[in-house]
Structure 1
């Protein structure tokens, strides 16, 4: 029986669908939800920061640039919390016990660590559908979690539009 469901969310188009599937499952099984957002510089919409290790090397990078970056990062964090609060309120309104966390880190390992410490029975997350070189260089969070999680995983796939399908076919043929 499911008692604790960890829902890994990001800012992708599929996040709402991931949440809705988790909510329906939690309501049907009377499970508790933990909504998790991992802040990462690789996440879509994340502010960009040039290498900080040697600021003298980047003559255009000044303390003003860093302050601007910090404001953008704070805004990025606040937007993440607002998304989590909104989803949490929706769940709590229909009687599903829900909490949320936002953490900074690498998404795959962070999701697995929280699933372990929270003693999750199930992780629900989305999959962007990267393939080929994109998956090789950018990695796949869902693939990492699938191989390292301490519990069962439910992957919600990104619906493929005709345009995306054509892109996947073209990418596959070019790699063949």
Structure 2
């Protein structure tokens, strides 16, 4: 029998939405896409960030020089602080409830792990939100998520940016 008590009518549905973020414009696009097209009153947002140096340190070539590793870690810590600040401000600005989780390891696995732990209803990511370094030895995060997630995955294509991005960065692919 349908429950029609007044409380259930008034109470907004609470969904948990995971958004994968890094310091690229693709994450920002995914975040904005959520705001414009997906957002519902009462949503609980979990932003997941995986700092890149964890990946870099796993690359054997980098390990030969501790100085290089140290520099990368320092740079990444600064970038991470800026990123956390930026998204905290956005959450406040748009009155979003939720939190930011910093994870270590592989991006795809971290997002899936968070999704299970937080009982997420939806996962949102941008495509190509990977640095050049990262992309060379990590498969596509969005592919991984689509295959492993137990909830719907929304992969935001940045259509205006894609064509332009290919022109600007095409030289990186000739390695």
TM-score relative to the length of structure 2: 0.70
Task: Say if 2:27 is the partner of 1:15.
Answer: yes
Show the counterpart of 1:121.
Answer: 121
1:98-154 per-residue CA deviation (whole Å, 9 max, x = no partner) reads: 311122211111110011001111100011299xxxx89641110000010121111
Q: Does the 8 Å contact 1:85/1:100 carry over to 2? A: no
Unaligned runs of 5+ in 1: 53-60, 172-176
> What RMSD, in angstroms, separates the aligned Cα atoms of the two structures?
3.3
1:54-95 per-residue CA deviation (whole Å, 9 max, x = no partner) reads: xxxxxxx4xxx4145224313203312321221122222332
Unaligned runs of 5+ in 2: 1-12
Query: How many residue pairs were aligned?
Result: 151
Show the counterpart of 2:166.
Answer: 164
Show the counterpart of 2:79.
Answer: 79
Show the counterpart of 1:105.
Answer: 105
Q: Aligned to 1:29, which of 25, 41, 61? A: 41
Change (3 A) 1:126 1:2: farther
Show the counterpart of 2:61.
Answer: 50
2:70, 2:138 → 1: CA distance?
A: 24
1:83, 1:77 → 2: CA distance?
A: 10
Three-state SS of the structure 2 residue aligned to 1:29 is coil
Three-state SS of the structure 2 residue aligned to 1:123 is strand
| Structure with the largest fraction of helix | 2
Q: Does the 8 Å contact 2:54/2:105 carry over to 1? A: no
Three-state SS of the structure 1 residue aligned to 2:96 is coil
Show the counterpart of 1:57.
Answer: none
1:74, 1:90 → 2: CA distance?
A: 25
Change (3 A) 1:148 1:49: same
